[in-house]
Structure 1
Amino acid sequence: MIVVAGEALIDLVPRGTGALAALTPALGGGPYNTAVALGRLGSPAAFCSRVSYDAFGEALLDRLRETGVDVSSVQRGSEPTTLAVASVGADGSASYSFYVEGTADRLFTAPAALPPGTRAVSFGTCSLVLEPGASAYEELMRTASGQGVFTALDPNIRAGLIPDADAYRARFKSWLPSVSLLKLSAEDAEWLGGTPQEWLAAGPAAVVVTQGGDGLTAFTRDGGVYAVPGERVEVVDTIGAGDTVNAALLHGLAVRDALSAPALAALGADGWAGLLGFAARAAAITCSRAGAEPPYAHELEG
């Protein structure tokens, strides 16, 4: 079982051009998209979050159930669902503004235990910024790591939600001893101001950096550097692409029985090439269609 911990929200995606283009609601949130992608790839997955009782919350849970994701660890609340208004650039890249005050996911509390059979827990995005929930997710990360559970982190920086950049950067560094696999975009790496080598020295067994259409690069503690090019595709938008990479990496590691630091170290060049290539293909499919629509396993066969 791979558990994904973090927010579920509604993306309001423009259908057309101009400031007053019609907005279409779409199910989203980085961790939520990762859980859906894991389910579509066929990995046993569970979602750990706090979701509203409103209509958006019900729709979010319905999709998880339809995808085969366990929702027994989802907390519920009467507060509204978080909204993210997406802006899509000419190249398909997406940026967001958020409506987060008083929303349900901010009030997440750390569970007493993880679901039985948990092999890995994935964290990231807004849920590690917005208090008081951020401290609860941080507690869960440290607890899981202390129990020997594989932990993955994608900070997926949303700078508009971070009131004190320096404080967040310091907090990010404090998480690294509890992280097995760090995945982040080149833009996030630049914003954080560190290097893969510095982050590896602080704890993770591997760091994967995504460079959009230019591909992915993995860095390991023994000095290994493994890169694959991006898959060429006609980009509709990039919504959910990084989340798909998270899921593809975790799924690929689970298939290889490599959800541990020693197993990551033993992957070698061929193992990393296969894993990163799989993630690149999965992300390309997501980019080829509107919104966060990660691929199913059969779309990646061969």
Structure 2
Amino acid sequence: MIVVAGEALVDLVPTPQGDLSPRLGGGPYNVAIAAGRLGAPTAFLSRVSRDLFGDRLVARLRDSGVRTDLVSRGDEPTTLALVGLTSDGSARYSFYVEGTADRLFADPGPLPDGVRAVSFGTLSLVLEPGASAYEAVLRREAARGALTALDPNIRAALIPDPDAYRARFRGWLPHVGLLKVSVEDARWLADLPEDAPEDDVLAAAGEWRAAGPAAVVLTRGGDGLAALTGADEVIRVPPTPVDVVDTIGAGDTVQGALLAWLHERDALSAEAVRGLDAEDWVAALSRAGAAAAITCSRAGAEPPLRRELEMT
């Protein structure tokens, strides 16, 4: 089973009429939805509000085939994210996080037997006190032999001390089996200029891979996907052509689709990821890119069902 740990929230997305439409989301939540819809046995680990938004978040998990028995509920409100869209459909966020349910997540102790992978990322590793609890789960489940997957999914406005966060990130790497990061976030994490060339990003990714992960996957927007593998190869695949509505949830879909692909091939371990060859990576990245393209063709984070992906 795959467990996805982290926040669930509501995105307030602008409509063509200028209104705000509530969309269920959050980076880890979207990862769980994507993996569940693609047929992987998936559970969500989080604290979710008992308010109306929280009820809808839990119901959508179940409708997507995601188990919710690891979800605790609280009387605190649901986190809100106000989304702004640029001319190319890219998303920019501002957050309302004070006193919300997901940041009060508490470490539940060892996860059930049969958990083979645990995915982490986004706000859940930033906002205390929940961030320390999620970090404890990350370290413990890695020590127990699970494939730990990390997508930092940087939200810089919520990180008051970037250098401290970068140090924490480097401290996680020995406990991470698969690192997925956007090129933009990689530049931020490596403290590179926003226009730093991709070779500089790959150099930073190589240092991160050497610190622990079996592979580093880079999402490159309109340039497709790349993976720095256990053999120190860089495998690139082009983007899947798509008419972009917005990019909300695209990177999360990549993470969920990669985990689902690894599950299908009985490769949910750091050793198995390290042993994937170039042909395997082309197949994995192509499938993840195709899934993300479908998400980009829709408003909000709506990852595809398995049958939709198989039709592409």
Q: Which amino acid aligns with 1:12?
A: L
Counterpart of 1:141? 138
Matched, 1:132 2:129: yes
Report 1:257-268 matches (<5 A).
257-268=266-277
**Residues 1:88 and 2:79 aligned together:** no
Say which SS state the counterpart of residue 66 (structure 2) adopts. coil
Partner Cα separation in structure 2 for residue 275 and residue 237 of structure 1: 23
Hey, what does 2:40 align to over in structure 1?
Answer: 43
Q: What does residue 207 of structure 2 align with?
A: 198
Does residue 165 of structure 2 align to residue 164 of structure 1? no
TM-score under structure 2 length normalisation: 0.94
Q: Does the 8 Å contact 1:129/1:162 carry over to 2?
A: yes
Q: Deviations over 1:24-69 (max 9, x none)?
A: 1110000001111111101110000000010000000000111111
Q: Indicate the larger mover: 215-224 or 167-176.
A: 215-224
Runs of 4+, deviation exceeding 6 Å: none
**Alpha-carbon deviation of 1:262?**
2.0
Q: Does 1:4 align with 2:4?
A: yes
After superposition, what is the alpha-carbon deviation per residue over 1:195-241, rounded to whole angstroms, capped at 9, x for unaligned? 11110111001000010121111002321111100111000000000
SS of residue in 1 equivalent to 2:170: helix
Q: Is the 8 A contact 2:109 2:137 kept in 1?
A: no
1:62 corresponds in structure 2 to 59
Within 2, Cα distance between the matches of 1:252 and 1:271? 10
Identity %: 65
Residue 283 (structure 2) pairs with residue 274 (structure 1): yes
Letter aligned with residue 83 of structure 1: L
Q: Distance in 1 between matches of 2:236 and 2:295?
A: 20
Deviation at residue 116 of structure 1 after TM alignment:
3.2
Residue 295 in structure 1 maps to residue 304 in structure 2:
yes
Distance (Å, rounded) in 2 between the aligned partners of 1:264 and 1:121: 14
Instruction: Tell me whether 83-92 or 111-120 shows the greater mean CA deviation.
Output: 111-120
Cα distance in structure 2, aligned partners of 1:115 and 1:214? 39
Q: Deviations over 1:108-134 (max 9, x none)?
A: 011122133111000000000000000
Deviations 1:70-115 (A, max 9, x none): 1001011110000000001110000100000000111001112213
Distance 2:101 2:270 in 1: 34
Partner residue in 2 for 1:28: 25
CA distance in 1, matches of 2:48, 2:132: 17
Task: Tell me the residue number matched to 1:217.
Answer: 226
Residue 265 of structure 1 and its aligned partner are, at CA, apart by: 2.2
TM-score for the superposition, normalised by structure 1: 0.97
Instruction: Report the 3-state secondary structure (helix = DSSP H, G, I; strand = E; otherwise coil) of the residue aligned with 1:49.
Output: strand
Do residues 226 (structure 1) and 223 (structure 2) align? no
How far did residue 259 of structure 1 move?
A: 1.3
Aligned residue pair count: 299
Q: What is the rounded CA distance, in whole Å, between the counterparts of 1:42 and 1:170 in structure 2?
A: 36
Equivalents in 2 of 1:261, 1:145: separation in Å? 10
Aligned with residue 120 of structure 1, among 117, 121, 132: 117
Give the Cα–Cα distance (whole angstroms) in 2 for the partners of residues 106 and 33 of structure 1. Answer: 17
- Matched to 1:274, the amino acid is A
- Residue 299 of structure 1 deviates from its aligned partner by 1.1
Q: How far apart are residue 261 of structure 1 and its match?
A: 2.1
Partner of 1:110: 107
Q: 1:179 matched to which residue of 2?
A: 176
Equivalent residue number for residue 97 of structure 2: 100
- The offset of 1:256, in angstroms, is 1.1
> Retained in 2: the 8 A contact 1:201–1:221?
no
Shift of 1:266: 1.9
Match of 1:78 in 2: 75
Partner of 2:14: 14
